[in-house]
Structure formats: structure tokens, C-alpha cells
């Protein structure tokens, strides 16, 4: 009989692209770096090569505020990926960030029954590998 | 002036396999089995098929159809990668092809081993159109459609007072219809209490709010209306058909209005082409990946106002004998998940008056929708023209 422990389920991990790399670099530094059009100034997320407003291909990433308000949420009970089995049930909040985009991330330290649309929350950062830091929210 | 495509094409043949959980057959075999039945139903021979639209990603490609059905001269091969909106959107492409003479008889087919093969709910990251969800949402624990669509359902509940009781009404009514059909995965009655007691998958979706992972195949044939009238079955024409793509099509999270689907755009064009409106619809087969998705589509389609989908489905309105019977075959929730091609088949049966115990009396005009890939939408409006 083998006594080797069962292998840990692998966490789905982000693979940054040429477009999104600055966003992920920002996460690692505890910043929310959002892509802005260098020509018309409009923010866009998720990162992509062309501004859909003025079609400029020039862009810059700027640090945005970490605050936002709750747009909606779900509570994940069924672990579709076994990595998340130990964490379930967990809340995933979709948040209207002050910087003009939405961020989807776990919301910790609060019961789902307490949640209301418009509630203020604050973005936090959790390093999960050497390269990848993931966002989560706490009640502001 | 009437739209150039209005009633120029018809659903001339329909076929489906048994819907099961567990099969030894491949997705391709299921697709071909259903295709042969559809060809037989139309009174055609395999050699008459000169266009194919297999489901992508699915069990087959054009080469498989040529090799298995001995197609002598395939003139058209298409994929329509729109997830659950694919099958109804494919009708638009097929209708254009037969109306212009590019092809005579176009086969649209799906074969799926969603239960016995790779489970449908875990496939997200294999689809290129889900690359953004894979990069930004899967790592934080959001990757299954049940999770990604749950946030929109929750928002609808918070804004409009929609409740689990409303969701249950869709599940229970759909199950009643499935039992009348017979060729279904779920053949035992479901009560509101059983719905409420079923385990939570991703709040607000419980197990019985979610469509099935099942095995099965389905196929239809689209032919030019003036040719189809000489075929075996009563003529069912395509009055209107359209596909629509929402803003932020690959990310629900970034969509300005989470509750806006591609169907918003498709519905307007589909109704305009058909020259009819919601009040003219006798029966509707609404893509039901989740109970909530049905409520919201009924709003978008103009059967009720935004926010009123919950109350609208109550009091028997969506059941047989109600003002708008929906999913008279049991849908994806209770019959089987063949990406909604079973909805097109059922609507065709209703308009042919072949729907057996689930027949909607005197059904003349019906509507079918597709919904998928984070919110793509499609609809077709069919008419009994026999």
C-alpha cells in the first residue's frame, strides 16, 4: 500500500499576455494598474491592443484607487475545480471601482446575508506564486 | 417591404437520439445518428445534403459528414461558435444559403457526451472565447457558467425583488412538460419544495436551477421554403431569424449592463424580419441553461417589462394551457443538453402538430432562442405554413 499523499489539486493560474503584463506587475506591487488610452485618455479593462473609442494603439497604465462599491456577488458552494473545495463556500464580489472599471474578486470577512448593492469595499492583494499576486476585497 | 429572407427557408427535417446519462457512443456517432433521422424525417436521401453546420467545438467536422454519409458534393461547411446561441444562429446562416441557392439542404447538428465524456461545466478554459475569464476570473475561483451567470441573477433579485420561488416555477413547469415528452433524462415530478431543498451550486443557483449534463444528439435540416413544401412533413417556415452579440462579449464582468444580452439586439431584428411581435407568439422554446436565464430572456423578448420576469412566470402562465407555454419538451433543465437544438426540434413539432401530449392547441407561430458564450443571443420565429 502506498502511503504517498494525494497530489494537491492545481490552482487555475493567470498567464499574462503582452497586453496584460503591466496589470499583473502592478498586482505584485500592491497597485491596481489600469490601461488608459494615450490619445483620448479613456480607461479600458481587460487590457487589449486598440482603444474602442478612438482606435489609438498607444496606451499607458496608471495606478487607480483601490476603493469601489459592490455591483453584485455570488456565493460559490460547488467547487468546480477541486482546488477551491477547501475554501467553499466563498463570496465572489463584482465591484465598480473608482477608476471606472469592474474587478471580480473574493470578498472576505463578511457574511453574504449582510451584503447590499452599493456597499463600499477595498481591494487587497495576496501573493500566490513568485509571479502572480491575486486581488481580493475586504469591507471598507 | 418584407425582409428578403422572410419565409424563404423552412425547417424540413428533424431528428434526435435518446437523451441519456451514460452512453457508449461518441459525440460524432450521436450527431450522425440524429442526422440520419432528420434526413429520413424530411423524406430526403443523405446525398441531398449539400451544406453542414456541425456544432463547434463538438463531435464532428465537415469531413466526417462526407466520409460517413457519402455526401457527393458538399457546397457549404460552416462553424458558428456562439456557445448556446449557436444552433439558432446557425439557422440564419443556413437560411441565407438555401435562399440564395448556395446550398439546397443544410444540416445543422449537435452530438454531445456532456455526461459520459468531459463534463460540460468544467470545459471553460478550453474555449478561446473564454480566454479573458481564464486569465482574470478562473484564478479567483470563478470559471463555471453557473458561477459567472449567478452574479447577474443576484443583481436582478436585488434590483427587482425576483425570488427563488420564481426560479422554482420555471424548473417545476419545465419538469411537468418533460414528463409528457418521454424522451428525457429527468422523468420524475419536481416540487417547489424539492427545488428549494436542492443543494446550492453558486448562489442564487441551486442544483435544480441548472441545466443537465447529458448525452445525446440532435439534427435539423434547413431547405428553401419552395422546395420544402413538396417534402414529407407539414411546411414550417422561418419568418424571422437573427443573432446578436453583447457589449464586452467575452467578459460579463466588464459589460456596462450585466443583464443585457446579445438577444436584445437579435430580438429587434428577428421580430422586424418576421413582421410579428410578442403578442403573436403561441408557444416559445427559451434557452434554459439556468432558470433565471429564462426569466430574463422573456423580459428582453418583450413578453413583460424588465424586472417583471419573476411575477410573469407565475400562476400557470408558462405551462401548457397558459398564455405563453414555454419549453414544452422539458428543455435543457429536464430533457437534455444538446445546446438548444432540441428547442428548435420541439418548436417544429409543435407547429406540425406532432407534439403529442404536450401539443399547444392550434399553434401557428412560435419562437425559439439561443443564449451562450457569456451572453451571445439568437432567436428564430417559425410559422406553420402548411
Task: Answer whether residue B122 is part of any domain.
Answer: no
Residue A61 neighbours by CB distance under 10 Å: 18
A106/A59 same-domain check: no
List strand residue ranges (DSSP E) for chain B, in order.
9-16, 51-54, 76-77, 105-113, 200-203, 205-206, 215-224, 236-244, 283-285, 365-372, 376-384
Q: Is A135 close to B251, i.e. CB distance below 8 A?
A: no
- The CATH number of the domain where A84 resides is what? 2.40.50
As for the ipTM of the complex, it is 0.94
At B131, the pLDDT band (50, 70, 90 cuts) reads confident
**Alpha carbons A83 and A13: distance in angstroms, whole number:** 11
Chain A: residue whose CA lies nearest to B255 = A102
Q: Does B123 touch chain A (CB under 8 A)?
A: no
A101/A138 same-domain check: yes
* Count of the separate structural domains present in chain A: 2
Task: Look at residue B156 in the predicted model and tell me its pLDDT.
Answer: 98
Residues in B closer than 8 angstroms to A68, CB to CB, are none
Mean pLDDT for B5-20 is 97
A104/A122 same-domain check: yes
Task: Look at residue B128 in the predicted model and tell me its pLDDT.
Answer: 76
Closest CA to A69 of A137, A134, A125, A126: A137
Domain assignment of residue A42, given as a range: 17-64
A54/A75 same-domain check: no
Task: Answer whether residue B218 is part of any domain.
Answer: yes
For chain B positions 141-160, those within 8 Å of chain A (CB to CB) are 141-144, 146-147, 150-152, 154-155, 158-159
Task: Look at residue A7 in the predicted model and tell me its pLDDT.
Answer: 67
pLDDT for residue B162 is more than 80: yes
Q: Are B37 and B92 in contact (CB under 8 A)?
A: no
Task: Look at residue B280 in the predicted model and tell me its pLDDT.
Answer: 98
Residue-wise pLDDT tens digits, A46-99: 999 999 999 999 999 999 999 999 999 999 999 888 899 999 999 999 999 999
Closest CA to B295 of B321, B251, B326, B272: B326
List strand residue ranges (DSSP E) for B273-336, in order.
283-285
At B119, the pLDDT band (50, 70, 90 cuts) reads low
Using the 3D structure, point to which of A64, A84, A103 is the last residue of a domain.
Answer: A64
pLDDT for residue A3 is more than 70: no
Q: Provide the grid cell at B102.
A: 448556395
Task: Look at residue A47 in the predicted model and tell me its pLDDT.
Answer: 96
* Helix (H/G/I), strand (E/B), else coil: B380: strand
A54/A69 same-domain check: no
Task: Look at residue A10 in the predicted model and tell me its pLDDT.
Answer: 82
Mean pLDDT for B52-59 is 85
Range B116-121 contact pairs with CB under 8 angstroms and sequence separation of 24 or more: B116/B21, B116/B22, B116/B23, B116/B215, B117/B27, B117/B215, B119/B213, B120/B213, B120/B337, B121/A80, B121/B145, B121/B146, B121/B213
Instruction: State the DSSP string of B66-98.
Output: HHHH--S---EE-----GGGHHHHHHHHHHHHH
Task: Look at residue B46 in the predicted model and tell me its pLDDT.
Answer: 98
At B353, the pLDDT band (50, 70, 90 cuts) reads very high
Residues in A closer than 8 angstroms to B159, CB to CB, are 117
- pTM of the predicted protein model: 0.96
Q: Does B137 touch chain A (CB under 8 A)?
A: yes
pLDDT for residue B127 is more than 80: no
Q: Does A43 touch chain B (CB under 8 A)?
A: no
Task: Look at residue A2 in the predicted model and tell me its pLDDT.
Answer: 52
Q: Does A39 touch chain B (CB under 8 A)?
A: no
Contacts of B358 (CB under 8 A, 6+ apart): B177, B180, B181, B320, B328, B329, B350
Task: Look at residue B123 in the predicted model and tell me its pLDDT.
Answer: 57
Q: Is A78 close to B201, i.e. CB distance below 8 A?
A: yes
Q: Which stretch of A11-15, B178-182, B192-196, B208-212 has the lowest confidence by average pLDDT? A: A11-15
DSSP state of B367: E
Residues in A closer than 8 angstroms to B138, CB to CB, are 12, 81
Of B129, B132, B133, B136, which to mutate for an interface test with A (greatest number of A Cβ within 10 Å)?
B136
- The CATH number of the domain where B62 resides is what? 3.40.47.10
Q: Is A78 close to B203, i.e. CB distance below 8 A?
A: no
Q: Does B121 touch chain A (CB under 8 A)?
A: yes
Smallest CA–CA separation between B119 and chain A, in Å? 10
Task: Look at residue B152 in the predicted model and tell me its pLDDT.
Answer: 98
Between B297 and B126, where is the model more confident?
A: B297
Residue-wise pLDDT tens digits, B310-338: 999 999 999 999 999 999 999 999 999 99
**Alpha carbons A136 and A105: distance in angstroms, whole number:** 5
Q: Which of B141, B158, B253 sits opposite A76 (nearest CB)?
A: B141
A46/A95 same-domain check: no
Task: Look at residue B319 in the predicted model and tell me its pLDDT.
Answer: 98
Q: Are B366 and B282 in contact (CB under 8 A)?
A: yes
Q: Does B129 touch chain A (CB under 8 A)?
A: no
Task: Look at residue B129 in the predicted model and tell me its pLDDT.
Answer: 80
Domain assignment of residue B311, given as a range: 9-117+211-384
Helix (H) / strand (E) element for B140: namely: none
List strand residue ranges (DSSP E) for B17-142, in order.
51-54, 76-77, 105-113
pLDDT for residue B53 is more than 80: yes
Q: Which of A14, A101, A117 sits opposite B254 (nearest CB)?
A: A101
Instruction: State the DSSP string of B244-279.
Output: E--SSTT-STT-SSTT--HHHHHHHHHHHHHT--GG
Chain B: residue whose CA lies nearest to A83 = B141
Q: Which of A78, A104, A135 sits opposite B142 (nearest CB)?
A: A104
The tally of CA atoms less than 13 A away on the side-chain side of residue B12 is 31
A60/A72 same-domain check: no
Task: Answer whether residue A127 is part of any domain.
Answer: yes
Task: Answer whether residue A78 is part of any domain.
Answer: yes
Between B296 and A86, where is the model more confident?
A: B296
In chain A, % of residues over pLDDT 70: 94
* Count of the separate structural domains present in chain B: 1
Task: Look at residue B361 in the predicted model and tell me its pLDDT.
Answer: 97
A78/A41 same-domain check: no
Between A2 and A47, where is the model more confident?
A: A47
Residues in A closer than 8 angstroms to B199, CB to CB, are 77-78
Mean pLDDT for B9-30 is 96
Smallest CA–CA separation between A114 and chain B, in Å? 13
Using the 3D structure, point to which of A25, A49, A64 is the last residue of a domain.
Answer: A64
Contacts of B324 (CB under 8 A, 6+ apart): B281, B283, B284, B298, B303, B317, B318
* Helix (H/G/I), strand (E/B), else coil: A37: strand
Task: Look at residue B115 in the predicted model and tell me its pLDDT.
Answer: 86
Q: Does A129 touch chain B (CB under 8 A)?
A: no
Smallest CA–CA separation between B144 and chain A, in Å? 7
Task: Answer whether residue A115 is part of any domain.
Answer: yes
First to last CA, chain B: 23
A21/A75 same-domain check: no
DSSP state of B333: I
Task: Look at residue B126 in the predicted model and tell me its pLDDT.
Answer: 64
Task: Answer whether residue A12 is part of any domain.
Answer: no
In chain B, % of residues over pLDDT 90: 90
Q: Tell me the count of A-B CB pairs closer than 8 A.
A: 105
Amino acid at each position: 500500500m502506498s502511503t504517498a499523499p494525494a497530489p494537491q489539486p492545481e490552482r487555475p493560474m493567470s498567464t499574462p499576455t503582452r497586453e496584460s503584463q503591466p496589470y499583473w506587475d502592478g498586482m505584485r506591487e500592491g497597485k491596481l494598474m489600469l490601461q488608459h488610452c494615450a490619445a483620448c485618455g479613456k480607461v479600458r479593462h481587460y487590457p487589449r491592443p486598440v482603444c474602442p473609442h478612438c482606435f489609438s494603439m498607444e496606451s499607458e497604465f496608471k495606478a487607480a484607487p483601490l476603493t469601489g462599491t459592490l455591483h453584485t456577488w455570488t456565493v460559490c458552494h460547488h467547487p468546480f475545480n477541486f482546488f477551491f473545495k477547501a475554501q467553499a463556500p466563498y463570496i465572489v464580489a463584482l465591484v465598480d471601482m473608482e477608476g471606472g472599471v469592474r474587478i471580480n474578486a473574493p470578498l472576505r470577512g463578511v457574511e453574504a446575508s449582510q451584503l447590499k448593492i452599493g456597499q463600499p469595499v477595498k481591494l487587497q492583494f495576496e501573493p500566490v506564486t513568485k509571479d502572480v499576486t491575486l486581488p481580493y476585497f475586504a469591507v471598507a | 417591404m418584407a425582409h428578403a429572407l422572410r419565409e424563404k427557408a423552412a425547417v424540413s427535417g428533424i431528428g434526435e437520439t435518446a437523451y441519456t446519462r451514460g452512453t457508449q457512443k461518441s459525440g460524432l456517432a450521436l450527431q450522425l445518428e440524429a442526422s440520419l433521422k432528420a434526413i429520413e424525417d424530411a423524406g430526403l436521401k443523405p446525398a441531398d445534403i449539400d451544406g453542414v453546420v456541425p456544432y463547434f467545438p463538438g463531435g464532428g467536422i465537415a469531413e466526417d459528414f462526407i466520409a460517413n454519409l457519402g455526401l457527393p458534393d458538399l457546397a457549404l461547411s460552416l462553424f458558428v461558435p456562439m456557445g448556446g446561441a449557436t444552433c439558432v444562429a446557425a439557422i440564419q446562416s443556413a437560411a441565407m444559403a438555401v435562399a440564395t441557392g448556395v446550398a439546397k439542404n443544410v444540416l445543422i447538428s449537435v452530438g454531445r457526451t456532456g455526461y459520459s465524456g468531459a463534463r460540460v461545466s468544467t470545459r471553460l478554459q478550453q474555449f478561446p472565447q473564454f480566454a479573458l475569464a481564464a486569465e482574470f476570473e478562473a484564478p479567483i475561483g470563478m470559471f463555471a457558467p453557473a458561477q459567472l451567470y449567478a452574479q447577474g441573477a443576484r443583481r436582478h433579485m436585488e434590483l427587482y425583488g425576483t425570488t427563488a420561488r420564481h426560479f422554482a416555477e420555471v424548473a417545476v413547469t419545465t419538469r411537468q412538460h418533460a414528463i409528457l415528452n418521454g424522451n428525457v433524462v429527468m422523468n420524475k415530478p419536481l416540487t417547489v419544495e424539492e427545488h428549494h431543498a436542492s443543494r446550492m451550486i453558486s448562489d442564487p443557483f441551486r442544483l435544480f436551477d441548472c441545466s443537465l449534463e447529458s448525452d445525446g444528439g440532435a439534427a435539423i435540416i434547413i431547405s428553401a421554403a419552395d422546395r420544402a413544401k413538396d417534402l414529407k412533413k407539414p411546411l414550417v417556415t422561418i419568418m424571422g431569424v437573427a443573432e446578436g452579440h453583447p457589449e464586452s462579449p467575452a467578459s460579463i464582468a466588464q459589460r456596462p449592463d450585466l443583464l443585457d444580452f446579445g438577444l436584445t439586439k437579435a430580438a429587434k431584428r428577428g421580430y422586424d424580419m418576421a413582421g410579428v411581435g410578442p403578442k403573436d407568439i403561441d408557444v416559445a422554446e427559451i434557452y434554459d441553461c439556468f432558470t433565471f436565464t429564462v426569466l430574463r430572456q422573456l423580459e428582453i423578448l418583450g413578453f413583460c417589462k424588465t424586472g417583471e420576469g419573476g411575477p410573469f412566470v407565475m400562476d400557470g402562465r408558462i405551462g401548457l394551457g397558459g398564455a405563453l407555454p414555454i419549453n414544452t419538451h422539458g428543455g435543457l433543465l429536464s430533457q437534455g443538453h444538446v445546446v438548444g437544438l432540441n428547442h428548435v426540434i420541439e418548436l417544429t413539432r409543435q407547429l406540425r402538430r406532432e407534439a403529442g401530449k404536450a401539443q399547444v392547441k392550434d399553434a401557428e407561430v412560435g419562437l425559439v432562442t439561443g443564449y451562450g458564450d457569456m451572453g451571445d443571443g439568437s432567436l428564430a420565429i417559425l410559422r406553420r405554413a402548411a
